Structure 1
Amino acid sequence: MSLKGARERRVHTGGIELCVAELGDPAHPTVVLIHGYPDSKEVWAEVAERLADRFHVVLYDVRGHGRSSAPKPLRGGFTLEKLTDDFLAVADAVSPDRPVHLVGHDWGSVQSWEFVTVQRTEGRIASFTSISGPSLDHFGHWLKKRLTRPTPRRVAQFLGQGARSWYVYLLQIPVLPELAWRGPLGKRWPSMVRRAEGLPRDGYPTASLPEDAAHGAWLYRDNVRSRLSRPRTDAYAQVPVQLITPTRDDFLSERLFDDLSGWVPELTRRTLPAKHWVPRTRPDQVSTWIADFTLAQEKAISTPGGRASVTPETTRATRATRATRATRATRRKAMSQKPYTERFGGQLVLVTGAASGIGRATAFAFAEAGARIVAVDRDAEGAERTAELSRLIGAPDAWAEVVDVSDAEAMEKLAVRVAAEYGVVDILINNAGIGLSGPFLKTTPQEWKDVLDVNLWGVIHGCRLFGRQMAERGQGGHIVNIASAAAYQPSKSLPAYSTSKAAVLMLSECLRAELSQQDIGVSAICPGFVHTNITSTARFAGVDEAEQQRLRERSTRWYGLRNYPPERVAEAVLRATLRNEAVVPVTPEARGAQLLSRFAPGVLRRIARLEPPL
Structure 2
Amino acid sequence: MTLLTGARERRVRTGGVELCVAELGDPGRPTIVLVHGYPDSKEVWSEVAERLAGDFHVVAYDVRGHGRSTAPRPLRGGFTLEKLTDDFLAVADAVSPDRPVHLVGHDWGSVQAWEFTTVRRTEGRIASFTSMSGPSLDHFGHWIGRRVKRPTPRRVGQLLGQGARSWYVYLLHTPVLPELAWRGPLGKRWPKVLERVEKVPRGDYPTSSLPSDAAHGAWLYRDNVRPRMRNPRTDAYAHAPVQVITPLEDRFLSERLDEELEQWVPRLTRRTIQAGHWIPRTRPDRVAAWIGEFVTSVESGSAPEAASGPHPERFSGQLVLVTGAGSGIGRATALAFAAAGARVVAVDRNAEAAVRTAEASRRAGAPEAWAEPADVSDEQAMEKLAEKVTGAYGVVDVLVNNAGIGLSGSFFDTTAEDWKKVLDVNLWGVIHGCRLFGRRMAERGQGGHIVNVASAAAYQPSRALPAYSTSKAAVLMLSECLRAELAGQGIGVTAVCPGFVNTAITSTARFAGVDGPEEKRLQQRAARLYGLRNYPPEKVARAVLRAVVRDEPVVAVTPEARTARVLSRLAPGVLRRIARVRPPV
Mark yes or no: TM-score above 0.5: yes
The residue correspondences of 1:164-563 to structure 2 (distance < 5 A) are 164-300=165-301, 337=309, 340-563=311-534
- Preserved contact between residue 555 and residue 613 of structure 1 (Cα < 8 Å): no
- For the residues of structure 1 that align with 2:168 and 2:144, how far apart are their CA atoms? 18
Aligned CA distance change for structure 1 residues 335 and 423 (closer, same or farther; 3 Å): closer
What is the one-letter code of the residue matched to 1:199? V
- Preserved contact between residue 273 and residue 477 of structure 1 (Cα < 8 Å): no
Measured after TM superposition, the shift of residue 148 of structure 1 is 5.0
- For the residues of structure 1 that align with 2:580 and 2:148, how far apart are their CA atoms? 62
Aligned residue number for residue 39 of structure 2? 38
- For the residues of structure 2 that align with 1:477 and 1:440, how far apart are their CA atoms? 38
- Preserved contact between residue 270 and residue 344 of structure 1 (Cα < 8 Å): no
- For the residues of structure 2 that align with 1:385 and 1:490, how far apart are their CA atoms? 36
Measured after TM superposition, the shift of residue 371 of structure 1 is 1.1
- For the residues of structure 2 that align with 1:431 and 1:140, how far apart are their CA atoms? 49
- For the residues of structure 1 that align with 2:539 and 2:431, how far apart are their CA atoms? 25
What is the one-letter code of the residue matched to 1:507? L
| Secondary structure of 1:360's aligned partner | helix
Measured after TM superposition, the shift of residue 146 of structure 1 is 4.6
Measured after TM superposition, the shift of residue 130 of structure 1 is 1.4
- Preserved contact between residue 269 and residue 345 of structure 1 (Cα < 8 Å): no
Are 2:549 and 1:578 equivalent residues in the alignment? yes
What is the one-letter code of the residue matched to 1:355? G
Aligned CA distance change for structure 1 residues 375 and 78 (closer, same or farther; 3 Å): same
- Preserved contact between residue 36 and residue 107 of structure 1 (Cα < 8 Å): yes
What is the one-letter code of the residue matched to 2:269? T
- For the residues of structure 2 that align with 1:101 and 1:544, how far apart are their CA atoms? 67
Aligned CA distance change for structure 1 residues 590 and 261 (closer, same or farther; 3 Å): farther
Aligned residue number for residue 91 of structure 1? 92
Instruction: Give the one of 586, 589, 603 matched to 2:574.
Output: 603
- For the residues of structure 1 that align with 2:432 and 2:12, how far apart are their CA atoms? 54
Aligned residue number for residue 590 of structure 1? 561
Structure 1: which 5+ residue stretches go unaligned?
A: 302-306, 308-333
Measured after TM superposition, the shift of residue 457 of structure 1 is 0.7
Aligned residue number for residue 110 of structure 1? 111
- For the residues of structure 1 that align with 2:513 and 2:152, how far apart are their CA atoms? 65
Measured after TM superposition, the shift of residue 555 of structure 1 is 1.4
Per-residue CA shift, 1:70-111, capped at 9, x if unaligned? 223322222222222221221122212111000111111111
User: Identity over aligned residues, as a percent?
Assistant: 76
What is the one-letter code of the residue matched to 1:363? A
- For the residues of structure 2 that align with 1:515 and 1:613, how far apart are their CA atoms? 43
Please report the RMSD computed on the Cα atoms of aligned residues, expressed in angstroms.
2.2
- Shifted more, 248-257 versus 433-442: the winner is 248-257
- For the residues of structure 2 that align with 1:419 and 1:497, how far apart are their CA atoms? 31
Measured after TM superposition, the shift of residue 125 of structure 1 is 0.7
Measured after TM superposition, the shift of residue 142 of structure 1 is 3.6
- For the residues of structure 2 that align with 1:135 and 1:153, how far apart are their CA atoms? 22
- For the residues of structure 2 that align with 1:491 and 1:143, how far apart are their CA atoms? 62
- For the residues of structure 1 that align with 2:262 and 2:276, how far apart are their CA atoms? 24
Per-residue CA shift, 1:447-493, capped at 9, x if unaligned? 12111111111000000000001111111111111111221222222
What is the one-letter code of the residue matched to 1:47? V
Aligned CA distance change for structure 1 residues 154 and 588 (closer, same or farther; 3 Å): farther
- Preserved contact between residue 558 and residue 613 of structure 1 (Cα < 8 Å): no
| Secondary structure of 1:570's aligned partner | helix
Measured after TM superposition, the shift of residue 151 of structure 1 is 5.4
- For the residues of structure 1 that align with 2:188 and 2:528, how far apart are their CA atoms? 70
| Secondary structure of 1:458's aligned partner | helix
Aligned residue number for residue 7 of structure 1? 8
- For the residues of structure 1 that align with 2:476 and 2:342, how far apart are their CA atoms? 26
- Preserved contact between residue 307 and residue 341 of structure 2 (Cα < 8 Å): no
- For the residues of structure 2 that align with 1:145 and 1:587, how far apart are their CA atoms? 48
- Preserved contact between residue 21 and residue 59 of structure 1 (Cα < 8 Å): yes
Per-residue CA shift, 1:277-314, capped at 9, x if unaligned? 2222332332222222212211118xxxxx9xxxxxxx
| Secondary structure of 1:21's aligned partner | strand
Measured after TM superposition, the shift of residue 39 of structure 1 is 0.6
- Shifted more, 140-149 versus 404-413: the winner is 140-149
- Shifted more, 232-241 versus 500-509: the winner is 232-241
| Secondary structure of 1:442's aligned partner | coil
- For the residues of structure 1 that align with 2:575 and 2:136, how far apart are their CA atoms? 58
- For the residues of structure 1 that align with 2:249 and 2:401, how far apart are their CA atoms? 24
Structure 2: which 5+ residue stretches go unaligned?
A: none
- For the residues of structure 2 that align with 1:212 and 1:129, how far apart are their CA atoms? 24
Per-residue CA shift, 1:99-141, capped at 9, x if unaligned? 1000111111111112212222211111111122222233334
Aligned CA distance change for structure 1 residues 590 and 229 (closer, same or farther; 3 Å): farther
Per-residue CA shift, 1:406-427, capped at 9, x if unaligned? 1111111111111111111111
- TM-score w.r.t. the length of structure 2 is 0.94
Per-residue CA shift, 1:476-528, capped at 9, x if unaligned? 11111111122122222222111111111111111111111211111111111
What is the one-letter code of the residue matched to 1:60? Y
Measured after TM superposition, the shift of residue 25 of structure 1 is 2.1
- Preserved contact between residue 554 and residue 613 of structure 1 (Cα < 8 Å): no
Aligned CA distance change for structure 1 residues 155 and 463 (closer, same or farther; 3 Å): farther
Per-residue CA shift, 1:533-586, capped at 9, x if unaligned? 110111122222222111111111111111111111111111111221111111
- For the residues of structure 1 that align with 2:300 and 2:171, how far apart are their CA atoms? 45
| Secondary structure of 1:116's aligned partner | helix
Between the two proteins, the alignment pairs up a number of residues equal to 582
| Secondary structure of 2:301's aligned partner | helix
- Preserved contact between residue 308 and residue 365 of structure 2 (Cα < 8 Å): no
- Preserved contact between residue 2 and residue 9 of structure 2 (Cα < 8 Å): no
